[in-house]
Amino acid sequence: MHYAGIAALSISGLDVFAGDKKNIAMNNPADIWKWNTPAHYYTKTEKGIVCGLCPNACLITLNGKGMCRTRVNFKNELYAINYGNPCSINSDPIEKKPLYHFLPQSTAFSLATAGCNYTCLNCQNWQISQVSPFDTQNYDLFPKEIVAYALKNNCKSIAYTYTEPVVFYEYVYDTAQLAHQEGLKNLFISNGSINEAPLRKLCKYLDAANINLKSFKEDIYRKLNGGKLATVKKSLKIFKEEGVWLEITNLVVPGWTDDLDMIKEMCDWLYDEGFADCPLHFSRFFPTYKLTQLPATPIDTLNKAHDIALAAGIRHVYIGNVPGTEYDDTYCPKCKKKIIERRGYTILSNNIKDGKCGFCNEKINGVWK
C-alpha cells in the first residue's frame, strides 16, 4: 500500500492519453501504481515470488521489488509497474542505436521506461536506469498510441532502448506485436541479459537487435556491470537462431575492458560461433556516473581493437563515439572500398546496390530496404 502515496507524487503533468487506461486499470489493483500489468514470467514459492524474466532470478517478497525496480510483488502476484509509462521518448536516426546495416537513414521511435537489471558503473543513462518508475517523469503511452505516433512521424521502426528493454518486457511484447501489424520494425537495444524462454518468445516480433557485449570475462561482467557473460553469449546465439538481424557493441572502458588480449579472445569467439557477419561496434567511453575518475578511451586503443577484430575475421568493424574517425564508414570486406560514408548520423553516400557492393558485387549482409 505504500506505493500509493509515492505514485500520487510521481504522476507528472504529462498525462496525454485516455487510450487503454480503462482496460488496464480494471485489470489491476488501483493502489499499486497507476498503470501496470501482470508480469509474464515468474514462479511462486513459499518465500516469495521468483522472477523468471532474467538471470538475476530475483526473489521478491510481499510488497517488494526486483533488482530492476520494475517488478512488484503485490498480494503475492508479480506486476510490471512500468507498463505504458515511458520516461523517455525520441525520434532517433537508426544509426544512433547503433544499427548500421539495418534500414540506414531511417528514423526510429525510441522509448524507454525507468529501470535496469544491470548496475553498470559507467552507465550513461543512470538517471533513468538506476531508479524506479516512481522516480521519473513518465508519459502515459500505450502500445497502440506508440504505433500511431510512429506512423504519424514517419518512423520505420520502434526502438526499445536507452535503459534496458528486458525490464519492460511486457510493454515491448505488446507494442512489438501491434507494430508488426502496421508494418513497423522492432529494434531491441539491450544488454542481452534475459532468459531463453522469454527471449525466444519475443524474438518472433523483433527485427533487429544491438546487444552490448560489455567485456569477455565473467569477473569483469560481475564487478563492472553486475551481470553474467554466459547469459549474454547464449542470448547472442538465440538472436541469431531466431533470425533477428544482430549488431554487437563493445564499450572499451580504460582499465576495465581495454585489455587487447581479452578483445582478441572475444573477437575469436564471435568468429568461431558464426558472428563474423554481425557488425561489431567498438565504442569510446567517456567519464560518467561512478567512473568519472577515468579518462576517455584513447583513440589508439580503439584503433587497435578495430584492427584485432578485422584480423580475427569480423567483416564489418566500426568505432563509435569518435567524431572524425574513418572507421565510422562501411567498407567492402572484399574489395576494401568505402561503400557507405557517414558523418555523424548522416549518410553522405551509399554504394550498396541490392545488398551488394556497388564496386565488386560482394554481398554485404544487412537489411537495406
Partner 1 sequence: MRLLQRKNKRRMEIKKAKFIPVLILAAVLLICFAFTSKPHFTIKVINQKPDPWEEQLNVLNNLVMQTSSINLLHGLSLSKEQAQRLIPLAMQVDQLNLNLSLNTTYYNNELQKICNTYKNLIGELTQDKDLSDTLKNEVMRAREKHSEIIKRSLLATQTPGYHADGCRECHAAPEQFPSGNISGKDTRPITPEDRKEIDLAHVKGLFGEEGTLLLWNLRDQVDEILTNEQKYVFNQFRCCLIPQEDVSNPGIFGQSFVTNEWIEYFRKVRQLNDNEWQDYKSLFIIPLADILEAKMPGIKKKDKQKMLDEAEKVITDSRKLDAVDFELQKENLCVSLSNALKTDLLNGEANRQPEDRKFVAALFLLYPGSSAFYMKLCGQQ
- Considering only 21, 55, 64, 91, the residue that binds partner 1 (CB under 8 A) is 91
Evaluate whether 31 touches 2 at the Cβ level (below 8 Å): no
Q: From CA 126, how far away is CA 59, in angstroms rounded?
A: 24
Q: What's at 69, amino acid-wise?
A: R
Residue 170 burial (10 A CB sphere; 0-12, 13-18, 19+): buried
Taking residue 55's Cβ as centre, other Cβ atoms within 10 Å add up to 17
152: contact with partner 1 by CB under 8 A: yes
Residue 364 beta carbon to partner 1: minimum distance, rounded to whole angstroms? 20
Among positions 227-256, residues that touch partner 1 (CB under 8 A) are: none
- Considering only 43, 181, 346, 349, the residue that binds partner 1 (CB under 8 A) is 346
Residue 343 beta carbon to partner 1: minimum distance, rounded to whole angstroms? 4
295: contact with partner 1 by CB under 8 A: yes
Among positions 311-330, residues that touch partner 1 (CB under 8 A) are: 321-326, 328-329
Residue 254 beta carbon to partner 1: minimum distance, rounded to whole angstroms? 10
- Considering only 204, 223, 336, 343, the residue that binds partner 1 (CB under 8 A) is 343
22: contact with partner 1 by CB under 8 A: no
* Distance set, CA 125 to CA 37, 118, 133 (Å): 25, 12, 14
Residue 321 beta carbon to partner 1: minimum distance, rounded to whole angstroms? 8
Q: What's at 234, amino acid-wise?
A: K
Evaluate whether 118 touches 223 at the Cβ level (below 8 Å): no
By beta-carbon proximity to partner 1, the closer residue of 223 and 343 is 343
DSSP string, 83-124: TT--SEEEEEEGGGTT-SSBSTT-EEEEEE-S--S---TT-T
Grid coordinates standing for 5?
A: 502515496
Residue 270 beta carbon to partner 1: minimum distance, rounded to whole angstroms? 25
What are phi and psi for residue 181, nearest 5 degrees? -60, -30
By beta-carbon proximity to partner 1, the closer residue of 336 and 343 is 343
153: contact with partner 1 by CB under 8 A: yes
Residue with cell 581495454: 258
178: contact with partner 1 by CB under 8 A: no
By beta-carbon proximity to partner 1, the closer residue of 91 and 119 is 91
Where on the chain is the footprint of partner 1 (CB under 8 A)?
Answer: 14, 16, 89-91, 109, 139, 141, 145, 149, 152-153, 155, 284, 295, 298-301, 303, 321-326, 328-329, 343-346
